[in-house]
């Protein structure tokens, strides 16, 4: 029972299938950007595309209905993802304009900003920047150095770059096109600093830098050269008091500071949290890019033949080699798994952030943590997968005409922008530890002692090799979904409990907090990764359960097996070290991955076609006329002779 491509695509398109179909249709008409353009030509072309995109009305959908939008928070991210099948500079510039810049004005601003700017932002008439990162501070944004000092005499804020390290850096839309910027700066009034706030600052007037604004150009980059990243230095730039995006905090005319959120730390994270959409979008864009790379490599791998089968004299398609399957098919399975996790993320964001939704802080925090973790895992997966796909296409994969080079170069920065992946995993771990602390803290003193004792016992059992395993992970049947999930979940829990135990001494007075944290940092990051593994496999399982088509379900069950077992195989050293798998069980996992690769090989083309990437965005010489298939040489006798 083989599913239809349409049924598979509908399943993958998930809850936002309609939007995705629309965007595919719209974008199929866009003329692709040819490779090898100069930076200036490429920027010019992407700017044209931004205006074409604005003209479709599509970017408006994410904004508030009062201003002509539809408040379709989820749909706009799904649409953004579909853009990822095309030109990634357009994707990123659109993300800067409507997601970051427009999004900040929408959620951090109030009606005074919305009335004045939202419509022009949606229409692409007012192009803007999101000026957060500074040369000296990228990850640690709470300690940015740019200042916004309230001047009581003129009722203005003075935006200033006090030192070279405080220069805004890598800012999209800054080098060429941006007219305004949302600038993040330390708000100071009456000599008191209230932490980082956002201000709307004009940076260009009639195409020239605004007075006091010094604009630099980041120049040529590894990729995304259609985006004009630049640097902003502010020399005592004056903006009216109303330039403060005052949804969460305000400064009165007399300089009095007020905020609905008392705690400065909490206020900062609440402001940042509203911007979670950026990370979710990047995770989605990475997914689209990985899908496109896999589509190219798998279609090429079916056509490309090299060396012949001595039995038939026919040259063998490279995708029929186990080593080639091993490179591409587990990555394909994980790409499917991530698509389901991403769909959940968007749906939850849509539910939590849709205009009129009642904000529940714990839900918002969970969403932020999950977005941080998924963004890290999805972007690393994309970087790794695209690299593998490039290599799987040999020399052809190195030519720009075959699109893989640009996919690779453009997405590379996804691992470090919108939050460096390592820092994001740390953020997730922090959230998990907080939740864990609450769970443990809720135990009675007796329960706590038992809990701690249990941990210690388990630790002894591991050291001595005496297995005290839960029944469920005994005698692993690799294809048992229950066993797969139990292993992955158990690992996540165990790692988290372990790192909590290791960090506890840091709470003691006089403890070497940095030393304790640092010694456990690898453990901490591993716990976060394991948590994401768990979320992803759970999302895949739930997605299959929602699928009505039995043929799709049957195929996806195998894909899910391959994903889950690849994850277990990757971490099998841990499972062995912790007595979760015996040596023979571990080897059975590897054997099952091999078997699944062979079983899914005949469906590889169907699986990539299921992504539904328009043919016009895939057209390249790599997929042109098949290479001749007459007899070549025969590697086998040589190898065994």
Based on CB atoms, which residue is closest to its own copies, 257 or 321?
Answer: 321
Site for its own copies in 300-339 (CB under 8 A): 306-307, 309-311, 315-316, 320-324, 326
Give the sign of the dihedral formed by CA 603, CA 608, CA 614, CA 619: negative
Q: Which of 32, 65, 165, 211 binds its own copies (CB under 8 A)?
A: 165
> What is the H or E stretch that residue 209 is in?
strand 208-209
- C-beta separation of 9 from 610 below 8 A: yes
Of 160, 228, 348, 412, the one binding its own copies by CB under 8 A: 412
**According to the binding rule CB under 8 A, does residue 93 interact with its own copies?**
no
The widest CA-to-CA distance across the chain, in whole angstroms, is 91
Least separation, in Å, of the C-beta of 403 and its own copies? Answer: 11
Give the CA distances from residue 343 to residues 74, 425, 606, in Å, rounded to whole numbers and listed in that order.
Answer: 9, 20, 21
Q: Does residue 586 bind its own copies (CB under 8 A)?
A: yes
- Least distance in angstroms from the C-beta of 236 to its own copies: 20
Q: Which is nearer to its own copies, 151 or 309 (CB)?
A: 309
CB atoms within 10 A of CB 133: 18
Q: Taking CB under 8 A as the rule, does residue 436 contact its own copies?
A: no
Instruction: Give the β-pairing of 192-202 and 180-189.
Output: antiparallel
Cα–Cα distance measured from residue 197 to residue 144, given in angstroms and rounded to the nearest whole number: 10
- For residue 552, report the phi and psi dihedrals to the nearest 5 degrees: -65, -45
Site for its own copies, residues 195 to 224, rule: CB under 8 A: 218-223
Minimum CB separation of residue 588 from its own copies in Å reads: 10
Among 417, 540, 611, 617, binds its own copies (CB under 8 A): 417
Binding mask 601-630 for its own copies (x = CB under 8 A): ------------------------x-xx--
Restricting to residues 520-549, which ones interact with its own copies according to CB under 8 A?
Answer: 521-522, 524-525
36 phi/psi in degrees, rounded to 5: 85, 10
| Token code pair at residue 471 | 């029944």
Residue 466's φ and ψ, nearest 5 degrees, are -75, 110
Number of residues forming the site for its own copies (CB under 8 A):
110
**Subset of 337-366 contacting its own copies (CB under 8 A):** none
Residue 466, interface with its own copies (CB under 8 A)?
no
Residue showing tokens 């080639």? 324
| The pair of three-digit structure tokens given for residue 53, joined into one six-digit string | 């995109």
Q: Which of 387, 455, 480, 616 binds its own copies (CB under 8 A)?
A: 387
| Token couple for 379 | 């972007």
Residue whose CB is less far from its own copies, 337 or 593: 593
The whole-angstrom separation of Cα 488 and Cα 522 is 18
Stretch that binds its own copies, among 162-170, 176-184, 530-538, 551-559 (CB under 8 A): 162-170
| CA separation, residue 291 to residues 115, 417, 614 (Å) | 39, 20, 12
Nearest to 329 by CA among 573, 608, 612: 608
Least Å from the CB of residue 99 to its own copies? 18
**Which range of residues in 20-28, 107-115, 207-215, 461-469 is near its own copies by CB under 8 A?**
461-469
Q: Which of 356, 362, 446, 514 binds its own copies (CB under 8 A)?
A: 514
């Amino acid at each position: 029972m083989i599913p239809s491509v349409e049924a598979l695509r509908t399943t993958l398109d998930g809850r936002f299938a309609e939007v995705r179909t629309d965007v595919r249709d719209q974008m199929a008409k866009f003329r692709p950007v040819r490779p090898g353009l100069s930076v200036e030509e490429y920027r010019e072309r992407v700017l044209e595309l931004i205006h074409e995109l604005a003209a479709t009305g599509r970017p408006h959908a994410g904004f508030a209905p009062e201003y002509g939008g539809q408040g379709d928070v989820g749909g706009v991210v799904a649409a953004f993802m579909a853009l990822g099948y095309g030109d990634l500079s357009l994707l990123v510039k659109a993300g800067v304009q409507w997601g970051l810049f427009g999004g900040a004005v929408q959620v951090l601003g109030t009606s005074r900003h919305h009335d004045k700017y939202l419509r022009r932002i949606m229409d692409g008439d007012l192009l803007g920047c999101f000026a957060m990162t500074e040369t000296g501070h990228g990850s640690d944004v709470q300690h940015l150095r740019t200042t916004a000092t309230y001047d009581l005499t003129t009722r203005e804020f003075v935006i200033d770059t006090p030192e070279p390290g405080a220069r805004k850096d890598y800012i999209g839309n800054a080098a060429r096109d941006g007219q305004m910027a949302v600038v993040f700066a330390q708000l100071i009034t009456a000599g008191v600093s209230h932490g980082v706030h956002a201000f709307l600052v004009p940076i260009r007037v009639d195409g020239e830098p605004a007075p006091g604004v010094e604009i630099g150009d980041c120049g040529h980059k590894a990729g995304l050269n259609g985006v004009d990243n630049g640097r902003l230095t502010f020399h005592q730039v004056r903006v009216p008091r109303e330039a403060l995006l005052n949804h969460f905090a305000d400064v009165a005319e007399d300089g009095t500071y007020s905020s609905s959120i008392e705690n400065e730390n909490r206020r900062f994270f609440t402001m940042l949290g509203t911007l979670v959409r950026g990370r979710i979008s990047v995770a989605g864009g990475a997914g689209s890019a990985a899908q496109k790379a896999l589509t190219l490599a798998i279609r090429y791998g079916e056509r490309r033949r090299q060396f012949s089968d001595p039995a038939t004299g026919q040259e063998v398609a490279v995708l029929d080699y186990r080593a080639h399957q091993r490179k591409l098919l587990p990555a394909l399975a994980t790409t499917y798994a991530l698509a389901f996790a991403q769909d959940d993320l968007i749906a939850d964001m849509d539910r939590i952030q849709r205009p009129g939704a009642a904000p529940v802080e714990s839900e918002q925090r969970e969403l932020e943590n999950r977005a941080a973790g998924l963004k890290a895992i999805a972007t690393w997966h994309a970087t790794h997968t695209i690299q593998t796909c490039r290599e799987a296409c040999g020399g052809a994969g190195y030519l720009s005409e075959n699109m893989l080079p640009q996919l690779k170069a453009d997405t590379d920065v996804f691992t470090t922008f919108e939050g460096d992946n390592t820092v994001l995993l740390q953020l997730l771990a922090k959230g998990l530890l907080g939740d864990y602390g609450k769970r443990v803290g809720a135990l009675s003193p007796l329960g706590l002692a038992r809990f701690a004792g249990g941990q210690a016992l388990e630790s002894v059992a591991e050291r001595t090799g005496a297995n005290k395993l839960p029944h469920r992970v005994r005698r692993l049947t690799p294809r048992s979904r229950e066993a797969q999930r139990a292993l992955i979940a158990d690992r996540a829990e165990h790692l988290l409990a372990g790192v909590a135990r290791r960090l506890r001494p840091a709470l003691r007075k006089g403890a070497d907090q940095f030393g304790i944290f640092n010694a456990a940092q690898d453990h901490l990051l591993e716990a976060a990764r394991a948590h994401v593994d768990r979320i992803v496999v759970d999302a895949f399982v739930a997605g299959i359960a929602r699928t009505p088509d039995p043929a799709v379900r049957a195929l996806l069950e195998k894909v899910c097996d391959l994903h889950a077992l690849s994850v277990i195989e990757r971490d099998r050293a841990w499972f062995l070290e912790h007595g979760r798998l015996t040596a023979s069980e571990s080897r059975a996992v590897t054997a099952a991955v091999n078997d699944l690769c062979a079983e899914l090989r005949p469906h590889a083309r169907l699986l990539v076609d299921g992504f539904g990437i328009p043919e016009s965005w895939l057209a390249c010489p790599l997929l042109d006329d098949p290479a001749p298939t007459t007899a070549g040489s025969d590697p086998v006798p040589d190898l065994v002779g």
